[in-house]
Every structure is written in C-alpha cells, then in structure tokens.
Amino acid sequence: MTSGLFAIGRALRRVAEHVAALLLAGTAAPAVVQAHDLSVTECQEGRDFIRNAALSRDQGLSRDEFIGRMQEDLELIKAFPPDLRWFVQDTEDETLLVDAARSVFDRPVDPEQHGDEFLTSCIAVVDRVTVRE
C-alpha cells in the first residue's frame, strides 16, 4: 500500500515540476484564482481518498509520514492552474481534505466510517453553495 503512495507522489512531483517550469518560463497562461464549488462527484472521490488514507494508517503508515507527504504533494499540485486540479482548487477544498486526513490519524475509526464522515461534511458544503445560488 505504501509503495503505491510513493509511486503516486513521485509521479505527481515530476508532472508538477514540469508544469512549474512552464509557468516560470512564461509559456503558460496565468491562472485566474476564484472560489471553487465542489461537486457531488468530487465529494465521492474525496471520500475514497480519505478511506484510502485510513487503510494506509491500518497498514502502518504514520500520521507524520502521511500528512507530510500529502502537504508536499499539495504544494506541488498548486503549480497547476486551479481548473486542472482535482479537488484542491482553493484553500477551502484543501482545508476540508487535510482536516479529514488528520482526523484519520487523530481519531482512528473504521476506514469506511472516515470516508462516510468526509462525504457527509463535503455534501454539506455542496448544499450550502447550492442554497446560496
């Protein structure tokens, strides 16, 4: 399980480094930062991510190792324009996902329960946005 996380992290880093180089070289258009409204599909994908974080925890991955790698990956992902990113398109998305990942290690319960709790909180964000519109 952890070798898969390392492989994903290495691949994300390589892609992000290439995109960052393009951005620095001025060959990519500047990104416009705006608030991102989560979709139900993104919430479902986030649930899977959080469930997998709990499965990684159950396989022995430490909190510091997981959160540290996650934070590194999030920084690299930010090299992409927000509309090309999965989920973490703004700070609200990032906070929601990182807080849920921390909870996996700070309050260990069954991986499915962590995933379901994330889905519930994420859908509440979607509902707030829908009501606001």
Q: What is the pLDDT of residue 3?
A: 55
Looking at residue 27, its pLDDT comes to: 41
Stretch 104-127: mean pLDDT: 95
Q: Is the pLDDT of residue 36 over 70?
A: no
Q: Cα 17 to the chain's mean position, in Å?
A: 18
Return the pLDDT at 24.
43
Q: 40-58 vs 91-106: helix axis angle to the nearest 10?
A: 30
C-alpha dihedral (18, 81, 122, 43), degrees to nearest 10: -60
At 37 the pLDDT is 80
CA distance 9 to 50: 16
| Domain extent listing, the chain | 2-132
Give yes or no for residue 74 having a pLDDT over 80. Answer: yes
Alpha helices for 59-107 (secondary structure H) = 63-77, 91-106
pLDDT band at 131 (very low <50, low <70, confident <90, very high): low
pLDDT, mean of residues 68-80: 92
Euclidean distance between CA atoms 43 and 40, whole angstroms:
5
